[in-house]
Amino acid sequence: MIVCRVFENDGNEALKDVQHGEYMRSVGSIFRAARAVLAQADAIIGSDLLIVERSRQVRTFDHRVLQDAHDILAAAFRHEADDGGQLILGEDAQAQLLRYRNQWLQWLDGKLQDLVRYPQFVRSVVECVIFQNTEMGYMAENRVGDILLTHFSAGDWAFPDGYLKTYQPARA
């Protein structure tokens, strides 16, 4: 995760640190959610796609192929849910970090359940991993970024020249 300001008032460093600490788990969740839906769809139609078989064999992968996807999701969460670092009455800093962790992971799981309803998102996430660090993988990364930026209307709130990249529509 690249820890930086993505939008105006994106200054809750404690929340960013929590997201950074959960980065590897979160990136894995993105892939596992997409892989599960793709495998289910493949089983329903009985097509025995090679990409599904290859995705089932994945145990580890280069996290960087889903880094932008993660960072867009993380920024969207902060934009939607950041409390500006305010403690809840009676809460100490450690409890706040635990609350941030739980909120982030719960939000991410919920958003992934929404996003896996989009076939292009599902297939592109799996392709990012299966074709990692190849031209096809880069095209898939581009599609995932474009899908997420559009889904979260990031153009309305993210810095136009900031870390969140503006993706060009991928060529198939």
| pLDDT at residue 57 in the model | 96
* Three-point CA angle 107, 66, 110, nearest 5°: 15
Q: Check if the beta carbon of residue 129 is closer than 8 Å to that of residue 55.
A: yes
pLDDT score, position 55: 97
Average pLDDT for 89-100: 96
Q: Is the pLDDT of residue 172 over 60?
A: no
Residue 163 banded pLDDT, cuts 50, 70, 90: confident
Instruction: Give per-residue pLDDT as tens, 12-40.
Output: 999 999 999 999 999 999 999 999 999 99
Cite the DSSP H helix spans in the chain: 13-21, 23-45, 50-56, 67-81, 93-115, 119-130, 135-151
Digit-coded pLDDT (tens) for 116-143: 999 999 999 999 999 999 999 999 999 9
Under 8 Å between Cβ of 12 and 78: yes
pLDDT > 70: what percent of the chain?
Answer: 97
160 has pLDDT over 90: no
Query: Residues with Cβ < 8 Å from 92, sequence gap 6 or more?
Result: none
Q: What is the model's pTM?
A: 0.94
**What was the pLDDT predicted at 169?**
54
pLDDT of amino acid 20: 98
Query: Is residue 62's pLDDT more than 90?
Result: yes
